[in-house]
Structure 1
Amino acid sequence: MTDTNTQNRTWYFVRHGETDWNAEKRMQGQWESNLNENGKGHADVNGRWLATLPIEHIWASPQIRVRQTAEIISKHVPLAANPNFDDRLKEWSSGDWSGMLYADIAKERPDEWAKWVEDRYNYRPPNGENFVDLEVRADSFFKDASKVNAETVAVLAHGFIIRVMVSRLAGLSQADVLAVKQTNDTVIRVRQSDGETIIDHFVGGIGPHAGLPLGEQGAA
């Protein structure tokens, strides 16, 4: 658990809307792709729901799919029109796997894939990152975020980095992190109050559902 942010705060972690690469189970990482029609709908639904909340500050990944998500959300939450873009919120770098279908990585790079399956938290694909690298980014981000005077905040980002950020706030195990499934219409809420951390989530604006969303994470 990170100790750089001790103030009482409620965080809303919003994943970008679906892209065609998500639907195809193609590795995106830090490569760019656009929202598809489903993804635009995800962003719109989440925007309408976020508009009911007292959001005071928004951070966002600068990647295209998040920028497009923020633009749609801004129709309902004007604050999202000019979020604080932060490179530390970019997705996990999938290195040489970027742009490949998950199935093709397993077929064409079986040794690398086997190592990732065996230890998804610590294995780095060639020229890529692992979850420990994301911990370093997340801790650096939270150190600076703690200086912002806001009690209710939102982060618009990606599946892998959000998992790690929630982990750093709540002290989750590696197994807990790998078990999370945040679909493109799911928002994770983390409430920090008087030393207690409570996690729940909303799907398509419906909830709260207790705890983390669980399952196999799709393409990042």
Structure 2
Amino acid sequence: MSSYSFPELYVLRHGETEWNVAGRMQGRLHSPLTAKGIEQAHTQKRILEAVDLAGFEIISSPQTRALHTAIEIFALSAAQIRTDPLLCEVDVGDWQGRMRAELTIEGDAKMTDDGPLAFYEQAKGGEGFDALRGRCEMFLQSLKSPAVLVTHGITSRMLRVVALGLPMDGMLDLPGGQGVVFHISNGAHEVLQ
């Protein structure tokens, strides 16, 4: 359990990419948003238009798919988007760019609604979940104000695990998905659709 109290957060995953559709591991590599991914960003924009974001920082992963999503959402205030490399997706090492179908997972696949977490935990030469958790803790502890975070699927799960004070396996129980907004306030988590 975390002993830190974090500001209010809206956590977003980038929209669908060409590699999401193809079943290819992205990690730190680039893949452009699809038309559906851009529409998912517009859905997130409509969700956030119903929220008072006065005083919120807008922070995005610098990776193109996340930053493109952030710009689609906050086009009128794009100059206010700050990037932070701590929000990058988990590094999947030698598995970056590889098709999921050609990769082998050992033991429990750790299935979620977004697929098996084990791909990211077992990636050869990858960052791993312990290092990702440390990176997410460092990022969240640095926040001085409420924030909208535009990031990636696995990093989103880990940020929410840390902010909610959950153990690592809490990643399995958290919802995923694109085109939604995850809201965390006072230790409570909700999915805005």
TM-score range normalised by the length of the shorter chain: 0.7 to 0.9
Q: Which runs of 5+ in 2 are unaligned?
A: 111-116
Q: Using structure 2 for the length normalisation, give the TM-score.
A: 0.86
Describe how 1:106-117 pairs up with structure 2 within 5 A: 106=104, 113-114=105-106, 117=109
Structure 1 unmatched runs, 5+: 107-112, 204-220
Any idea what SS the aligned residue of 2:161 has? helix
CA contact (8 A) 1:57 1:79 kept: no
Which whole-Å CA distance do the structure 2 matches of 1:181 and 1:94 have between them?
Answer: 21
| CA deviation string 1:106-141 (max 9, x = no partner) | 3xxxxxx22573793994422211111111101111
Which whole-Å CA distance do the structure 2 matches of 1:3 and 1:121 have between them?
30
Q: Which residue of 1 aligns with 2:71?
A: 71
Deviation at 1:84, TM superposition (A): 1.7
Higher gyration radius (CA): 1
For the 8 Å contact 1:188–1:200, the answer to whether it is kept is yes
Distance 1:23 1:95 in 2: 20
Corresponding position of 1:96? 94
Q: Judge conservation of contact 1:121–1:131 (CA < 8 Å) in 2.
A: no
Deviation at 1:69, TM superposition (A): 0.5
Write the letter of the residue equivalent to 2:160: V
Aligned equivalents of 1:65, 1:122: Cα separation in 2: 18
2:179 corresponding residue in structure 1? 185
What do the CA deviations read for 1:72-105 (whole angstroms, capped 9, x no partner)? Answer: 1123xx3444312110100011110111111111
TM-score under structure 1 length normalisation: 0.76
Partner of 1:176: 170
What is the CA RMSD across the aligned residues, in angstroms? 2.2
Distance 1:10 1:79, change over 3 A: farther
On the 8 A contact 1:18/1:38 being kept in 2, the answer is yes
Q: Which residue of 1 aligns with 2:139?
A: 141
Are residues 1:163 and 2:157 paired?
yes
Instruction: Say if 1:156 and 1:126 are closer, same or farther in 2 by CA, change over 3 A.
Output: same
Larger RCO (alpha carbons 8 Å, 6+ apart): 2
SS of corresponding position for 1:134? helix
What residue identity is the alignment partner of 1:137? R
Whether the aligned pair in 2 keeps the contact of 1:121 and 1:130 (CA below 8 Å) is no
